Structure 1
């Protein structure tokens, strides 16, 4: 009896490489480590978010960053990724680009740090007004949290609290602790942060605030699939 061979091809063509990157298959890392992953195909996977459902599937940004490091492409891809983040055309792509920007910013690249601030402040897509906020907290910590609260305080001069506003606060509580979050808000003399705190203290979400349990404890790593 003959068996079909479903093992990854040792010398993949362009279509096979694109398919592996679209699906998040671990064979892409094998090809990257052996110099058989084309740079342009990998760059396209960074610029376009191929996750089918961003609400259910884990992000691929960490996996893509590992591929960039494996192919020594972080420097080569820097400018195209930065340009795409500075001129966003698709909200789904910005989700992934912001996550990649986090890695550059953590490595000391201030232009990516600035781009994260810009995305958060300008909110280029009304359909997703929270783009870049988690990444800004990752990079800037408490400073990023105060920046987010100040922006919300400015918005509350013309709008009311919305239920989704709680997400970045819950994220901050998970990171810094509820007492530290309260201290940061209480110690600020910025009028917009004071406005945010006054409104936040009146919300049902704040009264029942506990560290978020929404994040999966053991997310599936895409590069484990072959």
Structure 2
């Protein structure tokens, strides 16, 4: 007489099965989304990535980390723009990034249709922490429109024209006092410091009527 034995799956085995099914579902959905996005951006010119897994991370973020040592700022973006034009597709692991250098495209993304291009949350957090707290640069939607409305009177065409003389005078000051001397002596100059100094002086004069260079307490 034959005997048939039945084994009921344990609770642990059932849990493992459910977890594996959920993981496969999530991974499959993520993979389909990635493939669909890849299909949508397939016509945008893209340089060959240095890593199959990381994409262009080593070419962009990795290269930027070595700018000070290599002295090739802002590569590879200049070379890419010359080779591929004003719209360049980069892949950072499973995320796609499109770099625009065309002024009309930048205006479309940042101004004309800004609501359709929300800012990256990581970038928003960085700007909030590093640039004067929460404000215009790290806001979206109606809140961003409110900040722009508050600041628009400061950036009318007539107001900007009144700042041109300040821009010119401070740029010439930097060229005459720092860059010309460095050029004649062959001295190495950190342009990041020069640009920061010029920007600060322009902000002081244009925004507050205050000359940081002339006031010893500002140093």
TM-score by length of 2: 0.27
Higher RCO (C-alpha under 8 Å, 6+ residues apart): 1
Larger radius of gyration: 2
Relative to its length, the structure with more strand (as a share) is 2
TM-score by length of 1: 0.26
